[in-house]
Amino acid sequence: MTQLQNPSPLAALDQANKSLASHPKGGISAPDQVTVTAVTHWTDKLFSFQTDRPPGFRFQSGEFAMIGLVDDEGKAVTRAYSIASPHWDDDLEFYSIIVPDGPLTSRLRHVQIGDKIILRPKTTGTLGLARLRDGQRLYLLATGTGFAPFAALIRDPEIYERFEQVILVHGCRTIAELGYSQKIVADSRAHPLIGEMVTRQLHYVPSVTRENFTQTGRITTLLADGKLASSLSLPPLDPAFDRIMICGSIGLNQDIAAQLLEKNFHEGNLSSPGDYVIERAFVGDGI
């Protein structure tokens, strides 16, 4: 059986987090705090925000960190968040769901400019270019907030150096839920430094499942019936040329991995770079 996700990065962060949380001052030292500099609400369930970036906070595009808030009892409540900004950016950006009763997001949804957020210094993740073999095309497949790591990667010049074409597919229920990815792609195309590469090499395929739109259907269906490749005039998926990053719910991740296995794609890791890599966009779905 294929291992869908190596749990060790999250476990390592959890461990780091627990040891910080047991610190006498609740584990929040000044370097673990950042200040919110911008907030945008996209729907009643989705928002993004930016923070300043502590000097020395380094990460690879596509990685995640633990961020959070202090609760009413002074305890740090932190969760894994993909960093949506690329590694070269002066600011940090995050894209967040709102879970109405969620321990973190029921409060994080109210953050405003000037508020302090906890940001743990360790970053990790499996959506790294170093885990993929060279290839011609890179497919980035996301649903919902799973777009966040790709918001970083599509703004990283390295992917355009490694791959001739980058195909970003973002699946959501409604058109409104595409608002953030549409804005990031539009801004990236207009960016003075990366805009030319993005315009030339990035194909953006937004798709919705519960409304009429220019592209409808689940990512799994678009892949299985070959519609995705054919709509872009690309050949069918082939492990000789295509590399894939996946970030969504456990169901999406499993369903795509099953399709890729049938086509003889191999999951990559650092010691043995492969054809595809997977990250969960969240922990849930009864696991």
Q: What is the binding site for ligand A2P (CB under 6 A)?
A: 143-144, 171-173, 209-210, 218-220, 249, 251-252, 255
Closer Cβ to ligand FAD, 135 or 206, answer by number:
206
Burial class (CB in 10 A: 0-12, 13-18, 19+), 253: buried
Residue found under tokens 């937004």: 206
Closer Cβ to ligand FAD, 11 or 113, answer by number:
11
- How far apart, in whole angstroms, are the C-alpha atoms of residue 11 and residue 264? 29
Total residues binding ligand FAD (CB under 6 A): 24
Closer Cβ to ligand FAD, 79 or 243, answer by number:
79
Using CB under 6 A as the binding rule, whether residue 43 contacts ligand FAD is answered as no
Nearest approach, Cβ of residue 241 and ligand FAD (Å)? 28
- How far apart, in whole angstroms, are the C-alpha atoms of residue 279 and residue 281? 6
Using CB under 6 A as the binding rule, whether residue 95 contacts ligand FAD is answered as yes
- How far apart, in whole angstroms, are the C-alpha atoms of residue 153 and residue 160? 10
Among 103, 157, 239, 273, binds ligand FAD (CB under 6 A): 103
Nearest approach, Cβ of residue 148 and ligand FAD (Å)? 4
Closest C-alpha to 156, from 62, 243, 278, 277: 62
Q: Alpha carbon 221 to chain centroid distance?
A: 21
- How far apart, in whole angstroms, are the C-alpha atoms of residue 169 and residue 219? 7
Question: Which option in ligand FAD, ligand A2P, none does residue 26 bind, with CB closer than 5 to 8 A by kind?
Answer: none
Using CB under 6 A as the binding rule, whether residue 82 contacts ligand FAD is answered as yes
Q: Which two tokens stand for residue 161?
A: 């150096």
Question: Which option in ligand A2P, ligand FAD, none does residue 63 bind, with CB closer than 5 to 8 A by kind?
Answer: none
Q: Which two tokens stand for residue 102?
A: 């969620």
Question: Which option in ligand A2P, ligand FAD, none does residue 95 bind, with CB closer than 5 to 8 A by kind?
Answer: ligand FAD
Closer Cβ to ligand A2P, 27 or 248, answer by number:
248
Nearest approach, Cβ of residue 262 and ligand FAD (Å)? 26
Closer Cβ to ligand FAD, 80 or 205, answer by number:
80
Among 96, 181, 188, 207, binds ligand FAD (CB under 6 A): 96
Using CB under 6 A as the binding rule, whether residue 151 contacts ligand FAD is answered as no
- How far apart, in whole angstroms, are the C-alpha atoms of residue 123 and residue 274? 22
The alpha helices in the chain, defined as continuous H runs, are: 8-21, 105-108, 148-153, 157-162, 179-190, 195-201, 219-224, 227-231, 250-262
Q: Which stretch binds ligand FAD (CB under 6 A): 20-28, 102-110, 177-185, 237-245?
A: 102-110
In DSSP terms, 248 is beta-bridged to 280
Closest C-alpha to 61, from 90, 95, 39, 89: 89
